[in-house]
Amino acid sequence: MKRLLAALTFLLAPVMAQADLINGGFETGNFTGWQTIGDALVVDSSIGTPPAGGTFQALITNAPSRGIATFSGNRSVEVCPASLSPDPLDAFLGLPRCSLKDLAAVVDPIFKSAWEGSAIKQTFSGNVGDVFSFSWNFLTDEGLQSDFAFVVLDGTLSLLADFSTVSPGSGTPFLNESGYHVFGAILPTGGVHSIGVGVVDGFIDPDINSALLVDNFLIRKIPEPASWLLLGLGLMGMARVGRRIG
């Protein structure tokens, strides 16, 4: 019976898989499988805090587009420019124009604006009921609540972190750090999905930077109910045979 219970526990446990999610832990040491815009690079623990898992993690910053102090050598891009030129960050994420500026107004209702930001994204496949998750760590030099990190899952934009999530002190180049947390969501549909994450600088202080570390992008695949039932019945049959033989 102990062997049966062990087998049942093992076989019915949710399966961790990356499906079409490529390089979810950035263990290639680069952005293989991902698209990036702005200041983003893959780093290890030398950034001053260890990855959530493995050796590498991705760093995304809002390093100033008008300056040269970036981490990757690429400048972050403007959010919702006043001109009629394209809105590159929202367009990259598949969002309507100025969506990130609208979210900035929710984060900071006083200044209600955003200046620049960076992001990474990827498409992947998943089934209904699969659990998608990743780990995030918000870093900031901010003393106000204007900078923020965000997530875009299947076109839905949500706030991920802001100044309220951090604590003073950090081994990274930034003054404050949230530590790693986990974002998770159940996929409501099957098929192709999209994930984007990034960080935006508030308009008030475009030269004070923030960043987002991300790691461990995973899909937890849950067996369909019919599969659970058939597997359970099969193991029950095995138990009966075992008792007869014994």
Structural domain harbouring 162: 17-223
pLDDT at site 108: 78
Q: Number of C-alpha atoms within 13 angstroms, CB side, residue 65?
A: 18
Give bridge partners of residue 197 from the DSSP assignment. 120, 151
CA 147 to chain CA centroid, Å, is 17
Q: Which CATH number fits the domain that encloses residue 148? A: 2.60.120.260
* Residue 81 within any structural domain of the chain: yes
* Residue 170 within any structural domain of the chain: yes
- Report pTM: 0.82
* Residue 121 within any structural domain of the chain: yes
* Residue 232 within any structural domain of the chain: no
> Length of the chain, please?
246
Q: How many CB atoms lie within 10 A of CB 30?
A: 13
* Residue 241 within any structural domain of the chain: no
CA separation for the pair 213, 98 (Å, rounded): 24
pLDDT at site 142: 83
Domain total in the chain: 1
Q: How many CB atoms lie within 10 A of CB 83?
A: 7
* Residue 134 within any structural domain of the chain: yes
* Residue 242 within any structural domain of the chain: no
R_g of the chain computed on alpha carbons: 22
pLDDT at site 239: 42
Q: State the 10-residue block means of pLDDT for the chain, 246 residues long.
A: 42 49 97 97 97 98 76 91 82 94 85 86 95 97 84 97 88 94 96 97 78 96 55 44 41
* Residue 191 within any structural domain of the chain: yes
Give bridge partners of residue 41 from the DSSP assignment. 59
Q: What DSSP string describes 126-189?
A: E-TTPEEEEEEEEEE--SSS--EEEEEETTEEEEEEEGGG-EE--SSSSSEE---EEEEEE-SS
pLDDT at site 38: 96
